[in-house]
Amino acid sequence: MSRKKSNRNDSAVTHGVYAGDTGYHRRAEEAGVTIELERALRSTILEDFPAPEGFKTEVVRGEIILSPLRALHLKTVVPLCMQIASQLPPGLDYTGDTLTPFPEVDSELCPDIVVLPKAECDKNLAVYTVDLIHAAFEVVSPTTAKRDYGFKVQAYAQAGIPVYVIADPYDAQLVVHHKPFHGAYGYRQIVPYGEKAEIPGDLRLVIDTSSLPADAGREG
């Protein structure tokens, strides 16, 4: 059952032919291709042609973006998954790096971790619709920080995702967003690493951030 829908500094790498390309749009118009078909083609490309090892692939406002991942990414995702798995209520499960279309912002995003109905997770799909997501987690990297803290807050809130959590090894903090309303979250809490963070809403998770690694080169 789906949930009810409610209302630093590396350069990102672009790859291949993307929908933001002027020639692509001209050829699409000449062939009578609709925007919906463009999006379907884009999703198919992402499904059938995975990113090179060590990169995360997403479509952001029509452009295919490849973001390099660093060691801290996996070292953060693993303990988060372990804590989430041990606390989820019956009927829910978690997965990650699966494609989720966000048509309102012309994007196909891949949250690092999502909480979904267990029956949907058991289908082992490559694409899940946003109405199934109970919570989304993103781990910040130097190339994704601006999107994680900016564009994705807006996109996830606009799509009605109840909880959005940012784990940031570079600022050593967990940022919890809750109560989406009109493209923004009404609740935002910053929890420094070393403390426990309560995830509000139906999940009622408690994340012990002392198990999450921080970048050794950060200031402070």
Residue 63 reports pLDDT greater than 60: yes
The predicted-structure confidence for 22-46, as pLDDT tens digits, reads as follows: 554 444 444 444 444 445 545 555 5
Between CA 13 and CA 174 the distance in angstroms is 26
Between CA 184 and CA 156 the distance in angstroms is 8
Residue 44 Cα distances to 18, 39, 162, angstroms: 13, 9, 27
* Span 130-136, average pLDDT: 97
Distance between terminal CA atoms of the chain? 45
Mean pLDDT of the chain: 82
Q: Contact at 8 Å (CB) between 109 and 154?
A: no
Alpha-carbon Rg for the chain in angstroms? 17
